[in-house]
Amino acid sequence: MLRKGLLAPIRANRPSHSSKAIRQRKTSTNRTLTALSTLSPSSAAPFAVAVSGVEKAFGPTRALAGADLAVRPGEVVALMGANGAGKSTLVKIISGSLAPDAGTITLGGRTVSFASPREAKAAGVATVHQATDQAGAGGLTVAENLLLDEFCGRGPLFVSGRSIRKRAAAIAAALDLDLPLDRDFIDLRPAERQLIAIARAVAAKASVLILDEPTSSLSTAEAERLFTIIRRLAASGMAILYISHRLGDLAAIADRAVVLRGGVIVGEFAQPIDFPAAVTAMIGRRLEAAAHSGEASTAPSILSIRNARLVPGARPFDLDLRSGEVVAITGTLGSGKSRLLRVLFGLTQLDQGTVTLDGAPWLSSGPAASIAGGVFMVAEDRWASSLLPPETPGASIAGTIALPHLPRWFPSGILDTMRERAVGNDAIRRLGIKAKNADDTLDQLSGGNQQKVVLARWQAAPCRLLLLDEPFQGVDVGARADLITAIRNSQSASATLIATSDTEEALEVADRILVMRDHSLFAADDGHGSLTAAIGSVETAETRTQP
Amino acid sequence: MTDMSVQTGAPRRTAFELARRYALFVLLAIMLVGFWWAQPAFINSANLFSILQAVSVVAILGVGVSITMSAGGFDLSVGSVAASSVMAASYAMVVLQFGAGETFALVLLMGALIGLANGLLIVKVGVPDLLATLSTMFLLAGLQLIPTGGRSITAGMMLPDGSTAKGAYDPAFLILGRSRLFDIVPLPVVVMAIVAVLAWFLMERTRFGRVFYAIGGNETAAHLAGAPTKAYRLWAYVISGTLASLGGLIIASRVGRGDVSAGASLLLDAVAASLIGFAVLDKRRPHVLGTVLGAIFVGVLLNGLTMLNAPYYTQDFVKGVVLVGALALTFGLGKKKR
Amino acid sequence: MTDMSVQTGAPRRTAFELARRYALFVLLAIMLVGFWWAQPAFINSANLFSILQAVSVVAILGVGVSITMSAGGFDLSVGSVAASSVMAASYAMVVLQFGAGETFALVLLMGALIGLANGLLIVKVGVPDLLATLSTMFLLAGLQLIPTGGRSITAGMMLPDGSTAKGAYDPAFLILGRSRLFDIVPLPVVVMAIVAVLAWFLMERTRFGRVFYAIGGNETAAHLAGAPTKAYRLWAYVISGTLASLGGLIIASRVGRGDVSAGASLLLDAVAASLIGFAVLDKRRPHVLGTVLGAIFVGVLLNGLTMLNAPYYTQDFVKGVVLVGALALTFGLGKKKR
Amino acid sequence: AGLAGAPAPFDQGGVKIAVVSFLGSGDWLQAFEAGVKRQSDALGIEANISQARNDINAQRELIQQAINLGVKGIIINNGQPEALKDVAQAALDAGIPVVAYDTNLDNPKIPQVEQSDADMARLVLDQAVKDQGESFDGGVVYVAGFAPLDRRYAVWKEFGKKYPGIKEVAAWGVVNDTVAASVADQTKAVLRANPTISVVFTPWDEFARGVKLAIDELGVADKVKIYGVDISTSDIQAIIEPSSPWVATAATNPSVVGEASVRALAQLIAGQDPGHSILIQPTLVTQKDLLDNNIKTIEELQAKFPAFKDSDAAKASWIPEPK
Ligand SMILES: Nc1ncnc2c1ncn2[C@@H]1O[C@H](COP(=O)(O)OP(=O)(O)OP(=O)(O)O)[C@@H](O)[C@H]1O
Ligand SMILES: Nc1ncnc2c1ncn2[C@@H]1O[C@H](COP(=O)(O)OP(=O)(O)OP(=O)(O)O)[C@@H](O)[C@H]1O
Ligand SMILES: [Mg+2]
Ligand SMILES: [Mg+2]
């Protein structure tokens, strides 16, 4: 399917429920559900789920300050909001894993109060949480994880390896997923984890389905497949609350968009949804198109890869990155994007081929050598790759940013926490990270803000080559634009290689786009192409992978 | 999504993987044959059952430890629960003049309650597992001595108040530790087998077992999936405590007195058994079968070395060497490359 | 992004949080005052230094344990490394007739090498920490006895070959365990203080400590951030082994002979100290200051109870009760709500 | 390699016996086992020696294992009667004679070798009364649950009743990896709290060493004296140190105990009767004795105290002297 640029008017190819234009509200403290329902007079059915006046504070931080929201059966509601707006908190409250400080939740008209996720599940609320590290349990196989809800709920008492495999295969088949059923969950890549989380939630046959950024590491093809499922579920009468920072996703499936800001609902948009206005409501300012030349660079080459084969049997490819260039690699799940980045960072080796960095052969023995040599990488799974448990010293924003730079900053070995804090506070200011100060631990941050900290870590020192693997996961559109500007401004003497499964994102950030397929790179443009050419190239590549 | 990855139906195993899976079995077989060759008396069935009997208590405790480990915890108190159970059983019969049945029920209940206390300390108060069970361990080590003022409990003993204990060990109680099924299989071995099969079934063949493992793997994920994780963790400790007191009952019925020194090394041996179990079948996690096999492994080694008249200090040494060897073999062979 | 949420500058601490942070200090103060009141001799400085001397070995071992724990490991072998060091030091002087200096160097080197072996087994072969150090523990428990055939080592002892040992403890060696700085502070206390300060500085004030903790928190993350995680984990065990052998040297120089022991109770006491340390300052993680305080806490308790002539078996019990109480207080107070 | 002129089966040689000890380590055990080995070698016996390491359950297993092994006789060294009676009976039923040392298995078929803990304690406490008079403040180091200690402690209590002037001001003790150091720490606390204590009774030499360490560290060697039980080379060295507070100890020679046990078992195996009770007499060793005779090691002690070196217990003409 065709996915447009960020600011292009987007319309879903479905009949709209309402022809009303935008309705914006400034506050919702005394908003009632009846008022909400006036938005969509065409359907008078009771809400499948409704929350009203929900409040939640974490210490001095008010994550929710009286939020109201309602979803009808068969309706897909997009919940939009900047990073830290309170979306995930609301999700956690509805799904029973957080207790609200105030407010009520009704399910099918009945007031409920969940003491645990178990109760919420039993009442028919299925949830895909934002954090992929909570999508399943290590030590169990993929098959067992697919059945985790059955085990933890009221599935059959007796199990065997065979029955588990059979039932899990059925769940995977229902969603047309091809998952390595016997592999340990711990060995999965984030995208696969995300698919498992989705499969589990869909298999739960709930009346309310909540998806908190379910596509953040999925590529267009997988996301598209998810949308098909969502439409089918909605058609069967399920109420769906969908959270994403990918506007394309929302455009594809949302019947209605609700914007959360500062813990309250500040706007509602019915079909046709005016996304630019929604984004303005969300981030409090208009979003300007990120301007970049897209012109062929004549700067000296920083990285050049020759005759490289990622895995045995793959087609060899070449790649050149010039100083100041931002290149994006996109492609389907498992096509090898991460692998290429991992090779450059020294985590695995090329099957064949040569890599030169600044004219010298580049063969890193591991992250330590890479970092010393000026090659930085933001790994794709922030939970596994960057976050420390909160009680660990150095789990704060300042500590997280400082970790790779400790040897350079403190050659004597003695820490200077003031310096760390200064860098942390600078990052908070620069990237608009929503946190009290640099001493906050990352578990207190919203998903997008965690990701910003991870990005800030690698901007804290100059580098030659910056490798970003799914860098904008969960980052809101406003912040993404800021980040891209920051990357462009600060990295003028270095090259940036971004692996992203989101084509829209690639179009937005990159000077050049390359497509990876079957562990090989295909140029989307040959040095003088335009963005449109790039899109075309991406599309042909994608259609080619799905014969 | 069709090109995601190449799948093969059943997982194919390389030679290395096979070696890893069965390394401990092979080592055990080699040991059995070696000892047999060096000392033919080793292999007679009475001796083999002696070995099983000798490891039965450690295996039962180890099963408890491995269940708490599966659920992401660790029970350091099993040794002292078993020791306290020996004292409690003796006290019940010798001082309180209880019968075998009552004693049994009382001691198992005590074990379950201690497990419950551990569990509550951990899930309700939020004390880290190691810390909570360590405290319980110290507490019990002292508590078990208080009723008798530090003395061992034997029929006719003097009580702290100067009177003489009137009761004695119920002969029915001694059956557990001292008699044999069909005149061949010692009852403790039967009990161990029953415990092992039940625990194995619970952990590997019911959804409860899967939830225990899920909690150990990722407690938040299990909680979000709807598991009452606190209840499960509580149960793990209750099971572990009950099994430990069952082990204590077996010891008591074997030694026939409440001995202060009984069960001193049980904790380390039980932990060793369940840790060795990690290597069995290359599971790299606690599991019941592995634990029992780990206990038997050490039991065979010690029995054989004793038969060969190895001094006790070489026994520890050989135990260590064989462990290191077995582990290096299991974990070192065909390691996953990054 | 100015309208995001209400911010307060410095973190305000609730009364509960304060109580949690300092619970163990307060308990310690209460204990000190209580014992003082019950037995005035308790508080004289000589006795207080006796307490410190009594806990010095456990504290030093505990620091090692807590460093390995910070790096996500666990060293079960500290007790037997210390016990082996006692034997090794005695053997070096009594049998090999080494001087104090050589003995020192040799034993510390031995401790470091054992730590290195542990570390290699863990990071190179991939054996889980608990399992590797448990094997080492068994191995050493046996190995230390082989040179003397299980005898303890004293001047004039008979060797297995029938000859008599010619050497003796070097008087210079005994200084470490038996003399006092300024005639007041026992040298072991000075050593403990130095170890504690150095280790605290390393772990809390240098980037190396930061990396140790990062590895313990999330090894993958530390690796991706460029930390040589394997080297760090190796070092953690080397440090722990060296500290354990230092503890052994202190024991040897105090007792003046090579006593046979497996080191199990030293291990448990060291682990207890570092676990109690979790509660100190509400850190909920291993740390040096907490470990030392944990050791002192137990030491004060035992010394006071001994002074009050409490029977030995009540001491373990009281130790357990106070531990549970302290933990319930620290962890239970003002717990986070869901 | 048989023993010429000995009754069967010793004339044929190749007799195998098992020696199962309750203890797991320590100098006493080492010396006992050395004695067992010496006498066994002299008799051409192959001794399978094992230790239960303070675990009575393990001791049962080991006896059971000895039966499985088909030995000709079993020596049980220490242990708890309740735990051992039935396995000992099982051995007898299998035709394997049993000798028990220091544990009363209450079976007429099982000869008892005894060193009489009570006699040892009495010897040394009598010496204490002789040295210190009939009234003093005393302390005792004691941990319950170790049978010999229990018996020795009972004598101390007896003395308290016999001499009203002798008061037990404090009792302490601990058994762990570092007995000496830990007991020293405790003793320091006790002596500070109870400065009147002038006598400490230590029913185990490991305790005596700890108390001595504490007294040395406190510098009160002239005020507090130690009366102990057991002896070894390192104990002798501790006693003869200048101004050592450890002034007397009572002991049997563990090697002699081991030798006598083997002799008794050998007689049983040969079908002879060693008698039901085989008593090894303890010896009192004082600091003065050692200093006067310039004794520094256990070997020198044996040379100068013949009563300590040997015992006539369970001897027979056909049994060779141990070498
Ligand atoms: N456990 C916590 N402790 C403290 N503060 C928290 C905690 N969880 C969330 N917050 C705060 O609550 C606010 C809302 O967070 P939430 O995760 O709901 O945001 P979000 O809308 O999901 O953002 P994102 O798009 O980045 O995922 C943030 O300011 C966050 O810092
Ligand atoms: N931990 C792993 N274990 C086994 N195979 C893996 C693992 N990680 C990746 N692979 C395989 O390597 C190939 C490339 O994966 P890679 O992660 O590089 O793809 P990607 O394009 O980044 O995909 P994604 O969108 O999922 O991040 C895939 O075929 C995948 O199955
Ligand atoms: Mg969120
Ligand atoms: Mg990827």
- SS3 of D186-240: the string is HHHHHHHHCCCCCEEEECCHHHHHHHHHHHHHHCCCCCCEEEEECCCHHHHHHHH
Residues 6+ apart with CB under 8 A from B8: none
Torsion angle (degrees, nearest 10) of CA B280, B281, B284, B290: -40
Q: Are strands D136-141 and D166-172 parallel, antiparallel or unpaired?
A: parallel
Same domain, A259 and A201: no
Same domain, A261 and A291: no
Transcribe D64-85 into DSSP letters: HHHHHHT-SEEEEES--HHHHH
In percent, the amount of chain D with pLDDT more than 70 equals 99
Q: Which of C6, C203, C210, C215 should one mutate to test binding to chain A, selecting the residue with the greatest count of A CBs within 10 A? A: C210
For ligand 1, is residue A445 a contact (CB within 6 Å)? yes
The edge-to-edge listing of strands for the beta sheet with A76-81 is A23-24, A264-270, A256-261, A76-81, A239-243, A208-212, A125-128
Same domain, A367 and A237: no
pLDDT tens digit sequence for B48-85:
898 898 899 999 999 999 999 999 999 989 999 999 99
Inside any domain, residue C113: yes
Of D263, D268, D254, nearest in space to D301 by CA: D254
Q: Do B264 and D56 touch, CB atoms closer than 8 A?
A: no
Tell me if chain C has a CB within 8 Å of the CB of D234: yes
Question: Residue B41: is its pLDDT beyond 90?
Answer: no
pLDDT tens digit sequence for A367-411:
999 999 889 999 888 888 888 888 889 899 999 999 999 998 999
Same domain, A246 and A338: no
Backbone angles phi, psi at D277, to 5 degrees: -125, 125
Same domain, A457 and A485: no
For ligand 1, is residue A117 a contact (CB within 6 Å)? no
Cα radius of gyration rounded to whole Å, chain B: 22
Write the CA distances from B32 to B37, B314, B320, integer angstroms.
9, 19, 18
Confidence (pLDDT) at C9:
39
Test A367 with C225 for CB contact under 8 angstroms. Answer: yes
Tokens of B300: 């065979």
Confidence (pLDDT) at A24:
41
Chain C positions touching B294 (Cβ under 8 A) are none
Inside any domain, residue B13: no
Report helix, strand or coil for A452. helix
Q: Do D114 and D142 touch, CB atoms closer than 8 A?
A: no
Same domain, A110 and A217: yes
Q: Do B184 and A108 touch, CB atoms closer than 8 A?
A: no
Residues 6+ apart with CB under 8 A from B294: B24, B62, B272, B273, B274, B275, B276, B277, B280
Burial of D182 (0-12, 13-18, 19+ CB in 10 A): buried
Q: Do C217 and A389 touch, CB atoms closer than 8 A?
A: yes
Select from A205, A225, A256 the last residue of a domain. Answer: A205
pLDDT tens digit sequence for C112-160:
999 999 999 999 888 888 888 988 988 998 888 888 877 788 877 777 7
Chain centroid, CA B190 distance in Å: 15
Facing A117 at nearest CB: one of B2, B7, B226: B226
Domain that holds residue A316: 285-374+463-547
Tell me if chain C has a CB within 8 Å of the CB of D188: yes
Mean pLDDT of D33-54: 88
Write the CA distances from B287 to A160, B245, B294, integer angstroms.
16, 20, 10
Q: Which residues pair with D201 in a beta bridge?
A: D140, D227
Tell me if chain C has a CB within 8 Å of the CB of B137: yes
Mean pLDDT of D210-228: 92
Q: Do D152 and D229 touch, CB atoms closer than 8 A?
A: yes
Angle between helix axes C45-70 and C207-217 (nearest 10 degrees) is 60
Select from A438, A461, A484 the last residue of a domain. Answer: A461
Confidence (pLDDT) at A396:
92
Inside any domain, residue B156: yes
pLDDT tens digit sequence for B186-218:
899 999 999 999 999 999 999 999 999 999 999
Confidence of residue D277 (pLDDT cuts 50, 70, 90): confident
Put simply, the chain C residues between 203 and 262 with a CB less than 8 A from any chain B CB are 262
Report helix, strand or coil for B65. helix
Residue appearing with tokens 């307490």: C51
Q: Do A517 and A545 touch, CB atoms closer than 8 A?
A: yes
pLDDT tens digit sequence for C176-214:
888 888 888 899 999 999 999 999 999 999 999 999 999
The residue in chain C having the minimum alpha-carbon distance to the alpha carbon of residue B130 is C275
* Structural domains of chain B, count: 1
Confidence (pLDDT) at C4:
36
Angstrom distance (rounded) from CA A472 to CA A215: 12
In percent, the amount of chain C with pLDDT more than 70 equals 94
Confidence (pLDDT) at B142:
84
Confidence (pLDDT) at A490:
67
Inside any domain, residue C10: no
Inside any domain, residue A18: yes
Same domain, A394 and A428: yes
Residue appearing with tokens 């990120």: A290
Interface predicted TM-score (ipTM) of this complex, two decimals = 0.86
The per-residue pLDDT of chain C, averaged, comes to: 86
Torsion angle (degrees, nearest 10) of CA B40, B45, B48, B49: -150
pLDDT tens digit sequence for C234-270:
999 999 999 999 999 999 998 888 877 767 788 888 9
Inside any domain, residue A199: yes
Angstrom distance (rounded) from CA A62 to CA A85: 10
Confidence (pLDDT) at B263:
62
The residue in chain B having the minimum alpha-carbon distance to the alpha carbon of residue C127 is B331
Cα distance between the two ends of chain A: 14
* Ligand 4 geometric centre to CA of A469 (Å): 7
Q: Cβ of B190: how many Cβ atoms within 10 Å? A: 16
Q: Do D255 and D32 touch, CB atoms closer than 8 A?
A: yes
Inside any domain, residue B9: no
Inside any domain, residue A397: yes
Which chains share 3+ C-beta pairs under 8 angstroms with C? A, B, D
Test C306 with D190 for CB contact under 8 angstroms. Answer: yes
Inside any domain, residue A106: yes
Site to probe by mutation for ligand 2, drawn from A178, A195, A338, A502 as the one with most ligand atoms within 8 Å of Cβ, is A338
Ligand 2 pocket (Cβ < 6 Å) reads A 187, 189, 191, 219, 331, 333-339, 380, 499, 501; B 5
Q: Do A495 and A466 touch, CB atoms closer than 8 A?
A: yes
Q: Please list the rounded mean pLDDT of every run of 10 residues in chain A (547 residues).
A: 33 37 38 39 67 90 90 92 90 92 90 90 91 87 90 85 89 85 87 90 90 87 88 92 90 91 89 85 72 61 90 89 87 86 92 89 90 90 86 90 91 89 91 88 88 89 89 85 77 82 81 85 57 50 42
Of A128, A487, A63, A536, nearest in space to A290 by CA: A487
pLDDT tens digit sequence for B156-167:
777 777 778 888
> Dihedral of CA C148/C150/C151/C153: which sign?
positive
> Does the global pTM surpass 0.95?
no
Tokens of A21: 């234009």
DSSP state of A316: P
Angstrom distance (rounded) from CA D186 to CA D174: 9
Domain of C252: which CATH number? 1.10.3470
Angstrom distance (rounded) from CA A518 to CA A536: 19
* Ligand 2 geometric centre to CA of A189 (Å): 6
Q: Which of C7, C223, C224 should one mutate to test binding to chain A, selecting the residue with the greatest count of A CBs within 10 A? A: C224
Same domain, A20 and A96: yes
pLDDT tens digit sequence for B258-305:
876 666 678 888 988 888 888 888 788 889 999 999 999 988 988 888
Angstrom distance (rounded) from CA B38 to CA B27: 16
Of A91, A527, A43, A540, nearest in space to A322 by CA: A527
pLDDT tens digit sequence for B166-187:
888 888 888 888 888 888 888 9
Angstrom distance (rounded) from CA A76 to CA A57: 28
Inside any domain, residue C154: yes
Same domain, A457 and A400: yes
Q: Do A53 and A104 touch, CB atoms closer than 8 A?
A: yes
Facing C142 at nearest CB: one of B125, B134, B317: B317
Burial of B91 (0-12, 13-18, 19+ CB in 10 A): buried
SS3 content of chain A, % helix, strand, coil (to 5): 35, 25, 40
Inside any domain, residue C6: no
Test D62 with B306 for CB contact under 8 angstroms. Answer: yes
Angstrom distance (rounded) from CA B289 to CA B279: 11
Same domain, A409 and A277: no
* Structural domains of chain A, count: 4
Q: Do C217 and C223 touch, CB atoms closer than 8 A?
A: no
For ligand 1, is residue A40 a contact (CB within 6 Å)? no
Confidence (pLDDT) at A40:
42
Confidence (pLDDT) at C138:
86
Domain that holds residue C256: 22-337
Amino acid identity of residue B123, one-letter, is V
Chain centroid, CA B6 distance in Å: 42
Q: Do D282 and D120 touch, CB atoms closer than 8 A?
A: yes
